[in-house]
């Protein structure tokens, strides 16, 4: 031990500059030896005669075992476990075997090695990166563990690794599957609601025991999606194109009577009805509606509060438009003429009102102008100044407003979706109401001897579609009427003078 | 037990002799030891400074790495050495002390020597990037911290 201090000094001084150099001393191929003394404390021994020290740089840069010079009887030194630091002399009958698994000097109890290997494997599992690499910390030689090969265990391990890798994709697939299934169910119930059980089963191919027609597997989930998509203004550009595909695909082999129109025919025509109705609403109703809303705002002639008030109104407008779109898009059908019949009276009623509210319309345009130029809004414009603003510009602004608004309000989104998804139910309910309300001869299919012709309303589907259209029109009418009433009543408001007698009464009752 | 037996042997060895610059301070039990280290050369960053290391051993030592940090003391004066891998709360970012870098061939003495050489070789008078944030936020035990050992040059 006398020789130790200088040697240590030397080695520790080497460390900073070239730790590899010192650790390379430790590379040995010989069996490790150590002194018998308890305090000899070396697990990794360097022999002075270790001329075979490989100059290969040691990948491990720590100096876990300092080079030690052992000059005497090294061959007789007991082995020492590099893990528990106990040497051979301390072995008890229960101590496990000694193992030298690698070419270097390290030797250890088998049980210690196995503990260490188990830890390595566990910590590797935590990182889930393949099978662990078990190598000697000193010489980096691979340590081979013989263990009973069990296909079951290995299979389970591989399976576990694989499943860990698939968790995320699986979650996505599951969520997507849930959504698709939900959409599918919604589409399914939509068909049932609109067509009634018998027609729906015939349509879906349920009655032929083959299962649901394969083309519906894709179509059904698309129904709710289309309903929702149709609520946006983006559908305006897309929807009118779709019927063209329909006509192109069906081609001339369309047979059967033109009247009543088939379901698919009706569906194909719906977008045009929708566009026509929207156009009508935008041109005729929306301006007046805006005017009425404007009238009930404080100081209707001023521009101060306009912009804040404009917002909720546009929202409402969009919601209503969405209703129409939703209606049209359902896989259902509306009869063109019925729609017109239903739409026209309401339109006429509105037109009658037009005269009364011409002034209001001007104000709306004025208002729109202010939206574009908020700075100008400070000056009080004479109400008629923008009378000349053409309808087209108005239209354009209106659409822009709605488009930007499609998703910009957090609360309008769920509302829109709810409205879209529930619309088939409403249509079906309205269809059922029609069946009750209309004369029996309109709603029951003609028997063999009946003289009246087949009609559109005789199918449940037809009634549903007409009912849906009716609902939209009724709703719009109701909204417009309430706006109109509010505007009219607004003018008639007055503040009640304080009446001494009554006032006291009021005070006491309160 | 396993850890105690091995630590007993290490302690016996440490008390007998230690490399220069490494001093044994206290080992009240087989759970927490303290060691002093100082840099031997004239590195101006650590000149005439001694640093206190605290080792904490789990019962799985040496299979598991000990937790090693620098601790500040007022008497005798001990500070946290400045080093790009040593946070100002004493936590050391060294692969050898992590799960991946540790192996049972390491021991208290070798860890001290590694840290000693880590200080000796350092020329940067700086803390690790994000030191303040780390010190303010960290409540983990050093062993649980996932260091990324990207820089082996220091």
Assigned domain for A48 exists: yes
Q: Do B104 and A44 touch (CB under 8 A)?
A: no
Model pLDDT, residue A321: 45
Percent of chain B with pLDDT over 90: 14
How buried is A62 (Cβ within 10 angstroms: 0-12 exposed, 13-18 middle, 19+ buried)?
buried
How many whole angstroms from its chain centre is CA A147?
48
Model pLDDT, residue A172: 94
Domain boundary residue among A59, A92, A119? Answer: A119
Asked whether residue A260 falls in the same domain as residue A392, the answer is: yes
Assigned domain for B154 exists: no
Assigned domain for B147 exists: no
Assigned domain for B150 exists: no
- In this structure, are residues A189 and A220 in contact, taking their beta carbons and an 8 Å threshold? no
Select the residue of B13, B99, B113 nearest A15 (Cβ to Cβ).
Answer: B113
Residue A381 has pLDDT above 50, yes or no: no
Residue A376 has pLDDT above 80, yes or no: no
Q: What is the per-residue pLDDT across A245-283, written as a single tens digit (0 to 9) for each?
A: 666 665 554 455 556 667 777 777 787 888 888 888 888
Alpha carbons A69 and A74: distance in angstroms, whole number: 10
- Among A1-5, A297-301, A462-466, A468-472, the range scoring the smallest mean pLDDT is A1-5
What CATH number has the domain bearing residue B64?
3.10.110.10
Assigned domain for A383 exists: yes
Model pLDDT, residue A377: 38
pLDDT bracket for residue A121 (50, 70, 90): confident
Highest mean pLDDT among A15-29, A134-148, A365-379, A417-431: A417-431
Give the number of residues written for chain B: 154
Q: Which residue has the tokens 């047979």?
A: A255
Q: Which residue has the tokens 């769920």?
A: A414
Domain that holds residue B59: 2-138
pLDDT bracket for residue A200 (50, 70, 90): confident
Mean pLDDT of A327-336: 38
Alpha carbons A497 and A468: distance in angstroms, whole number: 49
Q: Is B59 on the interface with A (CB under 8 A)?
A: no
Mean pLDDT of A62-85: 58
Q: What is the per-residue pLDDT across B59-94, written as a single tens digit (0 to 9) for each?
A: 888 888 899 999 998 888 888 999 988 888 888 888
Structure tokens at A23: 């650790």
Q: Is B104 on the interface with A (CB under 8 A)?
A: yes
Percent of chain A with pLDDT over 70: 50
DSSP label at residue A344: H
Model pLDDT, residue A343: 39
What's chain B's Rg over C-alpha atoms?
15
Q: Which residue of B has its CA nearest to A41?
A: B13
Asked whether residue A399 falls in the same domain as residue A264, the answer is: yes
Assigned domain for B126 exists: yes
Mean pLDDT of A118-137: 68
Q: Do A138 and B6 touch (CB under 8 A)?
A: no
CA-CA-CA-CA torsion for A263, A269, A270, A272, nearest 10 degrees? Answer: 180
Residue A173 has pLDDT above 90, yes or no: yes
- In this structure, are residues A67 and A11 in contact, taking their beta carbons and an 8 Å threshold? yes
Residue B15 has pLDDT above 90, yes or no: no
Assigned domain for A151 exists: no
Residue A307 has pLDDT above 60, yes or no: no
Average pLDDT, chain A: 64
How buried is A100 (Cβ within 10 angstroms: 0-12 exposed, 13-18 middle, 19+ buried)?
middle
Highest mean pLDDT among A249-263, A351-365, B117-131: B117-131
Model pLDDT, residue A451: 60
Contacts of A39 in chain B (CB under 8 A): 12-13, 16
Is B93 labeled as catalytic in the residue annotation? yes
* Domains identified in chain A, total number: 2
* Domains identified in chain B, total number: 1
How many whole angstroms from its chain centre is CA B92?
7
Assigned domain for B144 exists: no
Assigned domain for A195 exists: no
What's chain A's Rg over C-alpha atoms?
43
Structure tokens at A128: 């889930």
Half-sphere exposure of A327 (CA within 13 A, CB side): 34
Percent of chain A with pLDDT over 90: 3
Asked whether residue A270 falls in the same domain as residue A414, the answer is: yes
Q: Do B117 and A16 touch (CB under 8 A)?
A: yes
Assigned domain for B61 exists: yes
Alpha carbons B22 and A227: distance in angstroms, whole number: 77
Q: Which residue of A has its CA nearest to B120?
A: A16
Domain that holds residue A366: 230-489
ipTM greater than cut 0.90: no
- Contacting residues for A36 by C-beta, under 8 A, at least 6 apart: A76, A77, A78, A87, A89
Mutation pick from B42, B63, B106 vs chain A, by most beta carbons of A within 10 Å, is B63
Contacts of B96 in chain A (CB under 8 A): 62
DSSP track, A94-143: T---EE--SSSS-BEEHHHHHHHHHHHHHHHHHHT-SSPP-B-TTT-PBP
Q: Which residue of A has its CA nearest to B64?
A: A119
DSSP track, B44-101: TTSTT-EEEEEEE--TTTTTSPPEEEEE-BTTTTB-PPPBTTB-TTSBB--GGGSTTT
Assigned domain for A299 exists: yes
Domain boundary residue among A119, A146, A164? Answer: A119
Assigned domain for A23 exists: yes
Q: What is the per-residue pLDDT across B26-39, written as a single tens digit (0 to 9) for each?
A: 888 888 999 999 88
Residue A142's beta-bridge partner residues?
A: A135
Asked whether residue A408 falls in the same domain as residue A270, the answer is: yes
Alpha carbons A25 and A14: distance in angstroms, whole number: 12
- In this structure, are residues A109 and A98 in contact, taking their beta carbons and an 8 Å threshold? yes
Number of other residues whose CB lies within 10 A of the CB of residue B91: 25
| SS3 state at A144 | coil
| SS3 state at A63 | coil
Assigned domain for A157 exists: no
């Amino acid at each position: 031990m006398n020789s130790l201090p200088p040697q240590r000094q030397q080695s520790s001084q080497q460390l900073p500059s070239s730790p590899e150099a010192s650790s390379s001393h430790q590379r040995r191929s010989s069996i490790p030896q150590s002194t018998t003394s308890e305090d000899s404390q070396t697990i990794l021994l360097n022999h002075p005669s270790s001329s075979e020290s490989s100059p290969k740089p040691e990948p491990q840069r720590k100096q876990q075992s300092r080079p030690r010079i052992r000059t005497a009887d090294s061959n007789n030194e007991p082995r020492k476990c590099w893990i528990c630091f106990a040497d051979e002399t301390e072995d008890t009958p229960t101590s496990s075997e000694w193992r030298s698994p690698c070419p270097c000097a390290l030797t250890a109890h088998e049980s210690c090695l196995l503990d260490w290997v188990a830890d390595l494997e566990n910590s590797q599992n935590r990182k889930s990166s393949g099978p662990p690499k078990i190598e000697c910390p000193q010489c980096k030689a691979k340590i081979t563990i013989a263990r009973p090969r069990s296909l079951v265990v290995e299979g389970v391990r591989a399976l576990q690794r694989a499943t860990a890798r698939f968790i995320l994709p699986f979650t996505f697939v599951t969520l997507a599957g849930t959504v698709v299934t939900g959409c599918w169910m919604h589409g399914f119930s939509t068909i049932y609601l609109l067509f009634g059980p018998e027609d729906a089963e015939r349509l879906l191919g349920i009655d032929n025991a083959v299962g649901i027609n394969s083309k519906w597997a894709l179509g059904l989930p698309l129904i709710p999606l289309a309903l929702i998509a149709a609520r946006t203004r983006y559908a305006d550009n897309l929807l009118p194109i779709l019927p063209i595909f329909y006509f192109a695909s069906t081609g001339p082999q369309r047979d059967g009577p033109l009247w009543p129109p088939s379901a698919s025919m009706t569906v194909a025509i719906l977008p045009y009805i929708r566009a026509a109705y929207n156009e009508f609403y935008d041109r005729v109703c929306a301006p007046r509606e805006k005017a009425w809303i404007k009238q009930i705002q404080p100081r209707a002639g001023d521009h101060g509060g306009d912009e804040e008030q404009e917002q909720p109104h546009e929202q409402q407008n969009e919601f209503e438009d969405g209703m129409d779109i939703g209606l049209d898009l359902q896989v259902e059908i509306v009869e063109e003429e019925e729609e017109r019949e239903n739409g026209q009276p309401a339109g006429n009623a509105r037109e009658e009102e037009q005269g009364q509210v011409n002034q209001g319309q001007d104000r709306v345009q004025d208002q729109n102008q202010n939206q574009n130029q908020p700075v100008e809004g400070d000056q009080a414009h004479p109400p008629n100044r923008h009378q000349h603003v053409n309808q087209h510009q108005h239209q354009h602004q209106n659409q822009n407003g709605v488009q930007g608004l499609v998703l910009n309000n957090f609360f309008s989104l769920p509302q829109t979706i709810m409205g879209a998804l529930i619309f088939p139910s409403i249509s079906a309910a309205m269809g059922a109401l029609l069946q009750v309300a209309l004369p029996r001869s309109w709603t029951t299919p003609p028997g063999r001897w009946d003289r009246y012709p087949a009609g559109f309303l005789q199918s449940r589907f037809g009634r549903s579609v007409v009912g849906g259209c009716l609902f939209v029109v009724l709703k719009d009418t109701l909204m417009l009427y309430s706006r109109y009433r509010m505007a009219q009543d607004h003018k008639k408001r007055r503040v009640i003078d304080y009446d001494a007698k009554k006032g006291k009464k009021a005070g006491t009752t309160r | 037990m396993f850890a105690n037996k091995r630590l007993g042997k290490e302690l016996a060895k440490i008390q007998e002799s230690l490399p220069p610059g490494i001093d044994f301070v206290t080992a009240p039990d087989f759970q927490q030891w303290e060691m002093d280290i100082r840099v031997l050369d004239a590195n101006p960053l650590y000149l005439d400074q001694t640093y206190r290391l605290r080792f904490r051993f789990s019962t799985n030592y040496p299979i598991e790495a000990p937790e090693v940090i620098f601790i500040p003391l007022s008497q005798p004066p001990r500070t946290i050495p400045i080093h790009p891998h040593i946070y100002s709360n004493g936590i050391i970012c060294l692969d050898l002390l992590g799960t991946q870098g540790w192996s049972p061939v390491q021991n208290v003495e070798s860890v001290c020597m590694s840290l000693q050489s880590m200080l000796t070789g350092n020329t940067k008078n700086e803390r690790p990037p994000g030191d303040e944030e780390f010190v303010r936020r960290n409540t983990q035990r050093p062993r649980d911290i996932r260091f990324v050992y990207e820089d082996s040059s220091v």
